[in-house]
């Protein structure tokens, strides 16, 4: 046997004897709501010992009757309605949940108005101590700048809003109470229709932003910033996404939930590697067609994911519990 052949044979034997690294797996997935003709655009929080899931109900993906539905559960299995928020003449869209420093639930979203309204979109926020009784909506951000998601860090709320007028740009906002927002970065990005975002603050106070784009190459961008978060730098991730959301696991790895468009449209969990500027899928959730817009919570060693999908015939709300072993490689 030649030296090269011997080396190859040894390599085959070592590979055969090397145990495979455990992969992430879906522990269970269930449809938790499908009462409306179209149920979509979710978010999820665990608050005061209960689960809360918020989403839009309407007659179609875009329709004038959109309302914000909040459901709640003690165990993540049985879900009950908690509230339904609507506004005459407005399609309420893209519910996002967060917990304020004062231990209240904050629900944010946007009202879409039909012509001849001079304003196309107005971002709104509601507040609740129990998920059932909610404050009147407060106008947040500028008219026709859609404040996509609010992220709290060190007692302050941050978020990016995107312009829904002909001038396409991304605007950074800051709030001390969640009800009154001030401009932090007037034009943080303006190339190829920037829109949906997720901001993640790291232990060293640096911030990352996962940004969707829908013009030109339509490839996602990774933004970086440091306090006071007025200036951002951006790098191209080279993949098209929708409905982005990010979560840092206890060991520091970053999970992103997105809609992917390469081949079959689907809702997927991906590793975000800021060092390599890379987004890599590691698990596809049962999904297809009209789908995505996930909520993410790490709870008792599992990743809980709310999302919507139409792969079973209509747009419905799903909840997946995902096990991610500590030894799975982020690569």
Render pLDDT for 23-66 as a digit per residue (tens, 0 to 9): 899 999 999 999 999 999 999 999 999 999 999 999 999 999 99
CB 97 within 8 A of CB 87: no
Confidence of residue 196 (pLDDT cuts 50, 70, 90): very high
Domain residues for the domain of 278 are: 25-323
- Note whether residue 52 is domain-resident: yes
Q: What is the pLDDT at residue 22?
A: 74
- Note whether residue 302 is domain-resident: yes
Neighbours of 202 (CB within 10 A): 13
How far apart, in whole angstroms, are the C-alpha atoms of residue 28 and residue 320? 6
Which whole number is the average pLDDT over 75-82?
98
Mean pLDDT estimate for the chain: 93
Predicted model pTM? 0.92
Which whole number is the average pLDDT over 231-243?
98
- Note whether residue 17 is domain-resident: no
CA of residue 207 relative to chain centroid, distance: 16
Number of domains comprising the chain: 1
Element of type H or E holding 96? strand 90-99
Listed in sequence order, the DSSP H helices in the chain are 3-17
- Note whether residue 303 is domain-resident: yes
- Note whether residue 284 is domain-resident: yes
CB 212 within 8 A of CB 241: yes
- Note whether residue 53 is domain-resident: yes
| Helices then strands, each counted (H, E), the chain | 1, 25
DSSP 132: S
How far apart, in whole angstroms, are the C-alpha atoms of residue 179 and residue 177? 5
Q: What is the pLDDT at residue 11?
A: 41
- Note whether residue 3 is domain-resident: no
Give the residue from 296, 307, 290 showing the smallest Cα distance to 32.
Answer: 307
Neighbours of 67 (CB within 10 A): 19
DSSP 264: S
How far apart, in whole angstroms, are the C-alpha atoms of residue 43 and residue 60? 19
- CATH number for 189: 2.120.10.10
- Note whether residue 10 is domain-resident: no
Q: What is the pLDDT at residue 20?
A: 58
């Amino acid at each position: 046997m030649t030296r090269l052949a011997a080396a190859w044979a040894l390599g085959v034997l070592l590979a055969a004897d090397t145990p495979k690294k455990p992969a992430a797996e879906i522990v269970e997935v269930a449809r938790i709501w499908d009462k409306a003709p179209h149920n979509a655009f979710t978010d999820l929080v665990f608050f005061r010992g209960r689960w809360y899931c918020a989403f839009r109900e309407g007659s179609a993906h875009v329709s004038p009757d959109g309302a914000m539905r909040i459901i709640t559960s003690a165990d993540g299995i049985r879900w009950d309605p908690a509230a339904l928020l609507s506004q005459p003449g407005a399609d309420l869209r893209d519910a996002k949940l967060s917990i304020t420093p004062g231990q209240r639930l904050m629900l944010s979203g946007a009202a879409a108005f039909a012509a001849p309204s001079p304003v196309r979109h107005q971002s709104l926020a509601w507040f609740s101590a129990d998920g059932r009784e909610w404050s009147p909506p407060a106008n947040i951000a500028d008219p026709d700048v859609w404040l996509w998601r609010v992220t709290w860090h060190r007692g302050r709320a941050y978020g990016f809003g995107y312009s829904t007028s002909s001038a396409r740009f991304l605007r950074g906002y800051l709030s001390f109470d969640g009800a009154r927002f001030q401009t932090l970065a007037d034009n943080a990005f303006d190339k190829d229709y920037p829109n949906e975002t997720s901001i993640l603050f790291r232990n060293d106070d640096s911030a990352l932003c996962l940004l969707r784009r829908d013009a030109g190459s339509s490839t996602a961008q990774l933004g970086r910033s440091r306090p006071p978060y007025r200036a951002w730098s951006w790098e191209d991730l080279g993949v098209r996404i929708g409905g982005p959301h990010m979560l840092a696991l206890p060991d520091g790895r970053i999970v992103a939930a997105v809609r992917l468009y390469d081949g079959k449209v689907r809702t997927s969990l991906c590793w975000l590697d800021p060092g390599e500027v890379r987004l890599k899928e590691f698990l596809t959730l049962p999904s297809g067609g009209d789908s995505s817009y996930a909520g993410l919570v790490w709870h008792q060693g599992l990743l809980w994911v709310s999302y919507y999908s139409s792969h079973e015939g209509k747009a419905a709300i799903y909840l997946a519990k995902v096990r991610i072993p500590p030894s799975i490689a982020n690569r």
